[in-house]
Chain A
Amino acid sequence: DTAVSQTPKYLVTQMGNDKSIKCEQNLGHDTMYWYKQDSKKFLKIMFSYNNKELIINETVPNRFSPKSPDKAHLNLHINSLELGDSAVYFCASSQSESGYTFGSGTRLTVV
């Protein structure tokens, strides 16, 4: 049973397209996150939702729009994809500061 699962694992798409990444957690955690890992392996938070409410939005372009239909799901929609959006996107969830669980990542390649 995967605790935090995100799909797809790999996504190759052309510039200008719109794409979505889905994430689900079965841990019963209240908070979910999206992190971006660049080519140098640096991880940076993008968004955080607590019980479906947006609580962190870290200077991310408006082309990125998270949606949380319920506290177990946090999806990420990206409009008008650019080359610089290529990265690995990680979904994560936590119940407290000691209970962080990451998904296995979605490698997005924009060509």
Chain B
Amino acid sequence: TQLLEQSPQFLSIQEGENLTVYCNSSSVFSSLQWYRQEPGEGPVLLVTVVTGGEVKKLKRLTFQFGDARKDSSLHITAAQPGDTGLYLCAGISGGSNYKLTFGKGTLLTVNP
């Protein structure tokens, strides 16, 4: 069974601070996705990283896929209250069924 360990589980910071969320596994994934989920809604895809060592930027969010494709990180610069939410990493194994294996999530609260 493939597992994704996500840390930290909870993070409460002040507006303007930087933060990093980590997603680690002992398994190799063909790609890894990051989602953000708000209360009462489904997860919304932020990014997919495919190549080992890949770095993608989405405004103040920077996503990195580890060289061995077993781990990933999400870095947020100058966090804002609107960044508050549940951040989920999810790995996709090889094959054509695109099954997502999720981490347990990081609940981020950005205080004004």
Chain A, range 26-51, C-beta contacts under 8 Å to B: 31, 33, 35, 40-45, 48, 50
A97, B42: Cβ atoms closer than 8 Å: no
A104, B102: Cβ atoms closer than 8 Å: no
* Band of interface residues on A: 20 to 34
A43, B40: Cβ atoms closer than 8 Å: no
A105, B86: Cβ atoms closer than 8 Å: no
Count, A-B residue pairs, CB within 8 A: 60
Q: Which residues of A contact B107 (CB under 8 A)?
A: 41
B43, B50, B98: which has the most chain A beta carbons within 10 Å?
B98
Chain A, range 73-111, C-beta contacts under 8 Å to B: 90, 92, 94, 96-98, 100-105
Minimum CB–CB distance from B31 to chain A (whole Å) comes to: 5
Encoded as 1 (CB less than 8 Å from any A CB) or 0, chain B from 68 to 112 comes to 000000000000000000101010100011111110110100000
Chain B, range 33-67, C-beta contacts under 8 Å to A: 33, 37, 40-45, 48, 50
Minimum CB–CB distance from A92 to chain B (whole Å) comes to: 7
Q: Is the interface of A mostly helix, strand, loop or mixed?
A: strand
- The answer to whether the Cβ of A12 comes within 8 Å of any Cβ in the partner chain is no
- The answer to whether the Cβ of B30 comes within 8 Å of any Cβ in the partner chain is yes
Q: How far is the CA of A31 from the CA of B86 in the complex (A)?
A: 25
A105, B48: Cβ atoms closer than 8 Å: no
Contact A42-B48, Cβ < 8 Å, known A48-B97, A97-B30, A100-B98: no
Q: Which 6 residue pairs are nearest across A and B when measured between Cβ atoms?
A: A102-B42, A98-B48, A43-B102, A97-B92, A97-B98, A41-B105
Interface residues in chain A, defined as those with a beta carbon under 8 Å from any beta carbon in chain B: 4, 31, 33, 35, 40-45, 48, 50, 55-56, 90, 92, 94, 96-98, 100-105
